[in-house]
Amino acid sequence: MSTNDIQKVKVVVADPGGLGLFGLAMVTLVASTQKLGWTTGLSFVIPWAVFLGAYAQLMAASYDFKHNNIFGATVFGAYSLFWFSVAGCWLISMGVFGETLKAGADVHQLGVAFIGYLIFSLAMTVGSMETNKVLLIDFIFIDLLFILLAADSFGVHWAHSLAGWTELTISLISFYGSAATVLNNHFGKPFLPVGKPCRIFK
């Protein structure tokens, strides 16, 4: 076969942002109710963390890579792995993997992980300035959430309930962002406004 016979095939994939944001919206909605004391325990939070917070965002990440969207793919991928890890930590603290692991759990290590994700999220917040205002506001509250989660892990007790309210806010913003992503694409026009990019760095 000569080089003239080679054909390039471009695989077109849809924007997975709506699914990724829906996954984030659902898991933060359910998790916030536990922090706020509206529900108790983590048993029924874990499935939403795994299947919505983790798997849904992992799917969004894989399709964003195919979409050549490194920002969306990295963000959704990183946050999906966050929820996998958090669900694992909850399972350990509940003794699912045995009493030895449960007894050796140090919540301060979880706090360090939250700080690591805060550093990552602050960098991604800068990137979100060139997407839209809804996503930027979502990232600002995610930054705040990681600050509060870290503080809670290091014994700042008032941070726990405030983290719950922050999660609930992230959920509502993400529900809106998910709907806007899908409906704006579906109708081919700005059905739900999301705000223009800040255009600070471009």
pLDDT at 7 (0 to 100) = 66
Written as six digits, the tokens of 3 are 């080089």
In-domain check, residue 192: no
Confidence of residue 74 (pLDDT cuts 50, 70, 90): very high
Cite the DSSP H helix spans in the chain. Answer: 17-35, 46-48, 57-66, 70-93, 99-103, 107-128, 133-153, 158-187
The answer as to whether 121 is a domain residue is yes
Q: What's the gap between Cα 110 and its chain centre?
A: 17
Mean pLDDT across the stretch 1-15?
68
The predicted-structure confidence for 187-196, as pLDDT tens digits, reads as follows 999 999 999 9
Number of folded domains that form the chain: 1
Banded model confidence at residue 12, pLDDT cuts 50, 70, 90: confident
Q: Domain range spanning residue 48?
A: 15-187
Residue 5 lies in a domain: no
Q: What is the pLDDT of residues 87-123, one digit of tens each?
A: 999 999 999 999 999 999 999 999 999 999 999 999 9
Q: Is 130 domain-assigned?
A: yes
Model confidence, pTM: 0.92
Q: Is residue 195 part of a domain?
A: no
User: What is the model's pLDDT at position 199?
Assistant: 87
pLDDT bin (cut points 50, 70, 90) of residue 11 is: low
The pLDDT tens digits for 25-37 are: 999 999 999 999 9
Residue 133 covered by a domain: yes
- Which of 166, 174, 115, 129 shows the shortest CA–CA distance to 144? 166
In a domain, 9, yes or no: no
In a domain, 175, yes or no: yes
Q: Give the pLDDT band of residue 42 (cuts 50, 70, 90).
A: very high
Q: If you ran DSSP here, which 8-state letter would residue 3 be given?
A: G
